[in-house]
Structure 1
Amino acid sequence: MATILMVEDEMNLAMMLEDILDDAGYSVLKAARLPKALELMAQFYSGGENRIDAAILDINLAGVQVFPLADVLLSRGVPFVFTSGYGRDGIPDDYRGSAVLQKPYSAESLLSMLQAMIRGPDLTG
């Protein structure tokens, strides 16, 4: 079972996302604020073993941007997707190559993106 770190500050959306991820068979770690998300990342990355397979990051968490967490995820090789109502326009140049889902997005598009991130690139073609 893959573990997803979900960082979302809008409670209704977070509850809906958790249900979608649970129904798809993922284990979900959730945080609504940056300090909690960083704490979970540290807790589930111990001894060099990463137990987080991918992350869903709302860019704006009650006025605090999530980019410090994105830096930690990048340094540990954990794939992630940014979610934002502004699409790519809200992402600094340093993260322009990152996956983005513009809100509102469908459960299907989210699950498809997660599956691709966890599976990794197809190097056979």
Structure 2
Amino acid sequence: MAEPRRILLVEDEPVIAFALEDLVADLGYEVVGPAFRLPQALDIATAEPLDAAILDVNLNELTSYPVAERLHARGVPFLFATGYAESGVDWPHEVAVIAKPYTRDQVKVALRSLLG
């Protein structure tokens, strides 16, 4: 049996992070993180084997764009999760966006799309 795909979660709100962690695990993926802060997320995005990632755009006073850049350079597909819809994403490349609050089905479809 194949190993489950590894999904990095970057989310600064613990309640949302743990709910997303449960949801992603229930879908059969291995959760990496969740990372709550930018330095932790960057370390994981650099060092860990990953198959995909879900990135909250806003991390306290910062954004997850440096993490997105690191993942993009590694060829790891990712999507942004934001309460601001697509207009709240200032990313120069085409990227999937799911709006908060998202549903289990939205996450399921988005991850399947990322992973092919």
> How does the TM-score come out when normalised to structure 1?
0.85
**Corresponding position: 1:28 with 2:40:** no
Written as runs of structure 1 = structure 2, the 5 A alignment for 1:40-59 is: 40-44=44-48, 51-59=49-57
Change (3 A) 1:93 1:7: closer
Task: Please point out which of 75, 99, 106 is paired with 2:96.
Answer: 99
Give the RMSD, CA atoms, in angstroms. Answer: 1.0
Match in the other structure for 1:118: 115
Measure how far apart 1:88 and its partner are. Answer: 1.2
Structure 1: gaps (5+ residues):
45-50, 120-125
Do the aligned partners of residues 98 and 26 (structure 1) sit closer, same or farther apart at CA in structure 2, a change above 3 Å counting?
same
**TM-score normalised by L of structure 2:** 0.92
Q: How much does 1:93 deviate? A: 5.1
| Cα distance change of structure 1 residues 52 and 93 upon mapping to structure 2, 3 Å threshold | closer
Deviations along 1:15-53, one digit per CA (max 9) or x if unpaired, are 111111111111111201110011112221xxxxxx200
Question: In structure 2, how many angstroms separate the alpha carbons of the residues matched to 1:71 and 1:87?
Answer: 20
Q: What is the CA-CA distance between 1:8 and the residue it aligns to? A: 0.4
Q: Which runs of 4+ in 1 moved over 3 A?
A: none
2-structure distance, mates of 1:73, 1:118: 14
Structure 1 distance, partners of 2:68, 2:115, is 16
The residue that corresponds to 1:108 in the other structure is 105
| CA deviation after TM superposition for structure 1 residue 92, in Å | 1.6
Q: Shift of residue 90 of structure 1?
A: 1.3
In the alignment, structure 2 segments of 5+ residues that lack a partner are none
Aligned pair partner of 2:87 in 83, 86, 89: 89
- Larger-Rg structure: 1
